[in-house]
Amino acid sequence: MTSTDAAASELLAAFEGYLRHERGLSGNTVRAYLGDLLNLGAHLGVLRADGIDAALAGVALADLRSWLAAMDGDGLSRTTLARRGAAARAFFAWASDTGRIVPNPALRLASARPATVLPTVLTAAEVETLLGVARTRADDGDPVHLRDWAAVEMLYATGMRVGELAGVDLGDLDLGERLVRVVGKGDKERVVPFGVPAAVATTTWLERGRPALVSEATGSALLLGRRGQRVDQRQVREAVHELCRLAGVDEVAPHALRHTAATHLLTGGSDLRSVQEVLGHASLATTQRYTHVSAERLRAAYHLAHPRA
């Protein structure tokens, strides 16, 4: 490794520490930002012989704009462009605040707004079919099938992210009060209620499924894989995909159950602030997109049913 490579690695490591410990960003976001910066470095030829500090000092707003323009020309999505612009702004603001560069070339960098894409949402009938299949399949007593039933019930009941569900420990669960403590993005905690069906599925898993999988590697994890370790996100995703196929509904990712829970809460009369708290959104604007989903469904129903639509 050259001295320039080493300096670049140290710089990115310092920035990673800032993102994780001061900004409190999730691991996925941190990894995405670091990848974005490596892409920027490749575009600008930052790793050059005169050193990383000199290269950073030479970056101008026009360079950053040309980077975004090149990616736009390559057909990257607006969502990716928006995130890469955010990564650049975060990096150069940090570099400026820590005295590594003056001035900040990204101060006036604008990027495309993410495209407004309505999230995938299942109908109430589709959810009932999906959960019914999960419940019926669990009748065979297979501990993994019992786990999958509990997982999909909890995902829909609480609107949790799949990574949040995988991270739930036994001590986070209060079956008597039907509450679960969730650790979300930036290690922010929230307490989310859930209903009787999710409580029944989870109790059945704890009584009949989990004991059959417990091993020395289990620890305090609520949901387990077949080898007794904490379930990982991939296993939950595969379970949801398989249950969708068995139920004959559109194959969706676990995150669609989060979208569905939010939309059904709003459709059922819940207020926006309450849904924001359940989902753990930092901004109410993020929650508001579910009102668009509800409005689209209402508009579709109106056009189908109203004689003068």
Positions marked catalytic: 161, 185, 255, 258, 281, 290
What CA–CA distance (Å, rounded) separates 263 from 267? 6
